Each structure stands twice: as structure tokens, then as C-alpha cells.
Amino acid sequence: MFAVTWAAAVIAVSAVSFEADGTTPAGTFSCNLLAAEKYDGGDGELTGSILGDITLDGKGGYTQGASSGTVAWADNALHFTSGAMSGTVAAVRQDGQGHRYLHIDSTVMNPPEGDPKFGDHLCMEK
């Protein structure tokens, strides 16, 4: 019973870190493209993405390779507001195992809707 309660508390705490309260999540996310019709964590579903690794500092900043810029939380999504990723919109999600990831629509400029689909970028927290 304690383990189940503790696990639920851990998931709830991690969800709070990206609530729409003016903060952004902190962490490094490794980006891949979804090469399957849907994402369920199976082998072969993801392939390399040109986005590479994105590191969010939790204070409104990010780095991507040698680039850096700013990101803001608005309309239940992260909006990259300057730098190489300016205009990109990402949703912060959790997979079935509770791991955080960024979901970026294949168009990169539109907020992702629904479940990840073929061609979307999934940036898994390292």
C-alpha cells in the first residue's frame, strides 16, 4: 500500500513541475521522430530527429546544441520564443511508465493535439 501511495505521489509531484503557473520544466530531452502510427514504447517506433537534445533550465531558458533561447508556458504548451527553435510549440506529456517527454507536432509550429502520430517529434527526458 505504501509503495502505491508513494508512486502516485511521485507522479503527482512531477506533474506539478509543468503546471501552467508561469514556470517551465527543467531537464534534458533527447528528440526522436515517431516512425510508427502511434507511440506505445515498443522497439523500432522512434528514429533520430534533427532536433537532437534540448535542455530546459526551468527558468524560461533552453539550449539546443550550440544554440540557446527562451521558452514560455502559455495555452497549456511550451512556446519557444527565441533562438533556433523560435516558433516551435511543445506539449509536456507523460508516457505509461510516468516518464516525461515533449510532444512536438510534425509541423513544429502548431500545438500538438491528441496522441503522438507518425512524423511527430517525441523528446524523451534523459
pLDDT over 50 (residue 15)? no
Q: Report the pLDDT averaged over residues 26-45.
A: 88
Query: What pLDDT, on a 0 to 100 scale, did the predictor assign at position 23?
Result: 64
The CA distance from 105 to 118, in Å, is 9
How many structural domains does the chain have?
Answer: 1
Question: Is residue 24 very low, low, confident or very high in pLDDT (cuts 50, 70, 90)?
Answer: confident
**Which residues form the domain of 101?**
2-125
Helices and strands in the chain, H and E counts: 1, 8
Greater confidence, 95 or 100?
100
Strand partners, 79: 72, 89
Strand partners, 74: 77
Q: Is the pTM of this model over 0.85?
A: no
Q: Report the pLDDT averaged over residues 65-74.
A: 93
Q: What is the DSSP string of 7-59?
A: HHHHHHHHHHTTSSSS---EEEEEEEEE-SSB-SS-TTSEEEEEEEEEEEESS
